[in-house]
A and B are shown apart, each in its own frame.
Chain A
Amino acid sequence: AQSVTQLGSHVSVSEGALVLLRCNYSSSVPPYLFWYVQYPNQGLQLLLKYTTGATLVKGINGFEAEFKKSETSFHLTKPSAHMSDAAEYFCAVSNTGANSKLTFGKGITLSVRP
């Protein structure tokens, strides 16, 4: 079985400040890991993903995440928050193979203060 824990439901930062959204996972096999972003009343958009190889993954809009196997973590960061980053962020884990399924965390709402 696989699971994802996103601590806290809401994070608020000032514009220009560091963004750090935490994600810890549980998986019995080497995982694929994802971060998605959702703007109000819209679908999910892929920010970045880790499958194999380099553990520091860069995504769209200046976000990046680092896969740390020893800590079972995949935290999302951005050096400088922008007002347009305000959204809900979901971390997800997938098993590998043809029958792969995504398991999502509960999501974190990011607010950006001017």
Chain B
Amino acid sequence: DGGITQSPKYLFRKEGQNVTLSCEQNLNHDAMYWYRQDPGQGLRLIYYSQIVNDFQKGDIAEGYSVSREKKESFPLTVTSAQKNPTAFYLCASRSRGQETQYFGPGTRLLVL
């Protein structure tokens, strides 16, 4: 089945630790996106990538980093510089020439 997978479903971070969230898609989509969701704030764009080996900052990129070495993968690292990382993180992808973004099931990040 084609789709977007995110792992893990839940992730716990200790203070000062970097953690990496996985996002994989087998839809052959060119563009991939990372969003952060906080209660009552909707979704905010962290980073996005239109093609392999290229990515751009979104609205709230500080404290996060990404890579796009393969078309199907777009991992997000939450660094120790992100002081308030507790949130629900959603990955999405979109085919070039199409307007619809499709979302993965999300990863909930909690701080110990």
Interface size on B, residues (CB 8 A): 26
Q: Scoring B residues 86 to 100 as 1 if CB is less than 8 Å from chain A, else 0, what string do you get?
A: 001010101010011
Interface size on A, residues (CB 8 A): 24
Are the CB atoms of B40 and A34 closer together than 8 Å?
A: no
Residue A114, interface by CB 8 Å: no
Residue A60, interface by CB 8 Å: no
* Cα A106 to Cα B45 with chains together (Å): 13
Are the CB atoms of A41 and B42 closer together than 8 Å?
A: no
- Chain B residues near A42 (CB, 8 Å)? 105-106
- Chain B residues near A100 (CB, 8 Å)? 94, 99
Question: What DSSP secondary structure best describes chain A's contact surface?
Answer: loop
Are the CB atoms of A44 and B103 closer together than 8 Å?
A: yes
Are the CB atoms of A102 and B101 closer together than 8 Å?
A: yes
Whether A43 touches B99, Cβ cut-off 8 Å, given contacts A98-B50, A105-B42, is no
10 closest cross-chain pairs (CB), A and B:
A43-B103, A104-B42, A44-B103, A106-B42, A104-B43, A43-B105, A32-B99, A43-B106, A43-B104, A107-B42
Could you list which residues of chain A lie within 8 angstroms of chain B, going by C-beta atoms?
9, 32, 34, 36, 41-46, 49, 51, 90, 94, 96, 98-102, 104-107
